[in-house]
Chain A
Amino acid sequence: EAQVTQNPRYLITVTGKKLTVTCSQNMNHEYMSWYRQDPGLGLRQIYYSMNVEVTDKGDVPEGYKVSRKEKRNFPLILESPSPNQTSLYFCASSFRGAESGYTFGSGTRLTVV
């Protein structure tokens, strides 16, 4: 089944403890992206990647890192999480970037205490 898989689904962590949210897609998509979703603010893009070893900042990149060492994986790294990063995170992938529809993962609910 064609899909975007995120892990974990839920995560509670403490301020300052590094964490990684994994994202993997099995559709051979070139484009991948991370979003956070907050009440009243909608989906905001954190980082995106047009292809392997190519990553760019989105609208809200501060406090996040990404890497794209291989086509299928696009992990989101929080080096020192803070409470304002408590949010619902979505990974998405696409065959041709914004010219074709994005396929989203099921989301990761992160709580930083």
Chain B
Amino acid sequence: GESVGLHLPTLSVQEGDNSIINCAYSNSASDYFIWYKQESGKGPQFIIDIRSNMDKRQGQRVTVLLNKTVKHLSLQIAATQPGDSAVYFCAENVGGSQGNLIFGKGTKLSVKP
């Protein structure tokens, strides 16, 4: 598979445990945030998003929390499964409709069976 990052922070969890992946974003004007999952050999896949007028959003087994005071975003994965093993990126939009997403470096999640 493709190596997307040789120096990524790594989170190792046991199958069935909950995972929390953190991201510090850079711009207090950012108004839209996305979490992406990238499996080995594949392109990034959209997981969940949140706008700055919210502080929490839930999906299927995933929850995103946004703390604008400290510019922090987290992704919680419930009952982590081996298929969750991947690199996870956060992305922020600072420019509204004319902006571009700025991506974090990523965190590698490894799930031990």
Contact B6 A40 (CB under 8 A): yes
The 8 Å CB contact of A109, one of B2, B5, B7, B105, is B2
Interface string of B70-113 (1 = CB under 8 A from A): 00000000000000000001000101111111011110000000
* B66 in the interface (beta carbon within 8 A): no
A-B pairs with the 7 shortest C-beta distances?
Answer: A104-B43, A98-B93, A39-B6, A43-B103, A101-B46, A42-B105, A98-B99
A12 and B41 CA atoms in complex are apart in Å by 17
* B4 in the interface (beta carbon within 8 A): yes
The 8 Å CB contact of B98, one of A39, A50, A103, is A50
List 22 A–B pairs whose Cβ atoms lie within 8 Å, in order of A's numbering.
A39-B3, A39-B4, A40-B5, A40-B7, A42-B105, A42-B106, A43-B44, A43-B103, A50-B98, A88-B4, A97-B97, A97-B98, A97-B99, A98-B32, A98-B99, A99-B32, A99-B99, A102-B34, A102-B44, A102-B101, A104-B43, A106-B43
Query: Number of residues in A with C-beta < 8 Å to the partner?
Result: 26
In the assembled complex, the CB of B21 is this many whole angstroms from the nearest CB of chain A, namely 15
The 8 Å CB contact of B46, one of A39, A58, A97, A102, is A102
Chain A 30-48 interface residues, beta-carbon cutoff 8 Å to B: 33, 37, 39-43, 45, 48
| Chain B interfacial positions (CB closer than 8 Å to A) | 2-7, 32, 34, 36, 41-46, 49, 89, 93, 95-101, 103-106
* A96 in the interface (beta carbon within 8 A): yes
A45 and B100 CA atoms in complex are apart in Å by 9
Q: Which of chain B's residues have a CB closer than 8 A to the CB of A102?
A: 34, 44, 46, 101
The 8 Å CB contact of A90, one of B7, B32, B44, B93, is B44
